[in-house]
Amino acid sequence: MTDNWFKTALLMAAIVALFGVVGGMLGGRTGMLLALLFGGAMNVWAWWFSDQAVLRMYNAQQVDARSAPELYQMVQELAHNAGLPMPRVYVIDEPQPNAFATGRDPEHAAVAATTGIMQMLDYRELRGVMAHELTHVRNRDTLISTISASVAGAISALANFGLFFGGSRDERPNPILAILVAILAPLAASLIQMAISRAREFDADAGGAEISGDPQALAMALQKIEHYARGLPMPTAEHHPETAQMMIINPLTGADIGRLFSTHPATEERVARLMQMARGVR
């Protein structure tokens, strides 16, 4: 887990450094400041309100101890194990097996599971999945993803600003260089952002195994979800692909793309790490 935090810190430093380089080359000091303010304002708003927006987007229905006793009590037990406040619990009427966590901090967190994942997994496996999602809450991964998205968005805005307006007369870059940077800088920022997302998934797997005390159950759940999710499209995720990184498994069809462009690590590698943990436990 420490290695993944170190990797996340390096990637965060890399994306901030990229912003500085692009800002200096394209927008100058003024353009860099404007882009950072613009990107920061948009993503602070997203961090504060995105939980409700995403839950509405997926038509998630809040449940309690009466309407979904098994799921609610499961989350309650795991939250206690993790030392977290009880999050709100939601169910999404979707056949694709998947789950996610959202919320700006542990006091305003929510976890959601699809009907598909609740029907497909047994109690142990679903417990492992919900422990994974609660680890995202405990690790404040929504904050990390918001910061990386903020800087990545600012880089894209800065690239466009620099391409069309440039800095002051003395700061304007070579036009060909400006075009190349405007194309490549947002791509590089997205790749770094995706790498951060992948590192956080490994940590959530490890934390989920720790909270549930059952790494093998989470490994089995990931294998099942990966197998069935490929053949069951999730229309909301297809229309809003920016939400894909929130899910425990990439919900997008045709998601078999190069690892650099993936928001999730390879399931085989996640399973192998969990099984290594399971052997260590036993």
Q: What residues are annotated to the active site?
A: 133
Per-residue 3-state assignment (H helix, E strand, C coil) for the chain: CHHHHHHHHHHHHHHHHHHHHHHHHHHHHHHHHHHHHHHHHHHHHHHHHHHHHHHHHCCCEEECCCCCHHHHHHHHHHHHHHCCCCCEEEEECCCCCCEEEECCCHHHCEEEEEHHHHHHCCHHHHHHHHHHHHHHHHCCHHHHHHHHHHHHHHHHHHHHHHHHCCCCCCCCCCHHHHHHHHHHHHHHHHHHHHHHHHHHHHHHHHHHHHHHCCHHHHHHHHHHHHHHHCCCCCHHHHHCHHHHHHECCCCCCCCCCCHHHCCCCCHHHHHHHHHHHHHHHC
